[in-house]
Amino acid sequence: MTIHREGYKSIAIGTSVFVLLNLLSFYIWSDHLPWLSWIIFLLTLGLLIFLISFFRIPKRAFTIQDNAIIAPADGKVVVIEEVQADEYFTDRRIQVSIFMSPLNVHVNRNPVSGEVLYSQYHKGKYLVAWHPKSSTENERHSVVYRTNGKEILVKQIAGALAKRICNYLKPGMQVKQCDEMGFIKFGSRVDLLLPLDAKINVKIGDKPQGGVTVIATL
Residue boundaries of the structural domains of the chain: 2-57, 68-217
CATH no. for 68-217: 2.70.70
Residue 184 pLDDT class (50, 70, 90 cuts): confident
CB atoms within 10 A of CB 133: 10
Catalytic residue among 119, 135, 142, 188: 188
pLDDT in the model for residue 27:
84
Percent residues over pLDDT 90 in the chain? 65
- Mean model confidence pLDDT for the chain: 89
pLDDT in the model for residue 34:
86
Q: pLDDT tens digits, residue range 35-92?
A: 888 999 999 999 999 889 888 888 999 999 999 999 999 999 999 999 999 899 999 9
Contact call for residues 185 and 209 (beta carbons, < 8 A): no
Q: Hey, which residues does 107 pair with through a beta bridge?
A: 183
Q: Within its chain, how far is the Cα of 43 from the centroid?
A: 26
Q: What is the pTM of this model?
A: 0.85
Residue 133 pLDDT class (50, 70, 90 cuts): low
Does 134 participate in catalysis according to the annotation?
A: no
Higher pLDDT, 100 or 164: 100
Residue 127 clears pLDDT 90, i.e. is over it = no
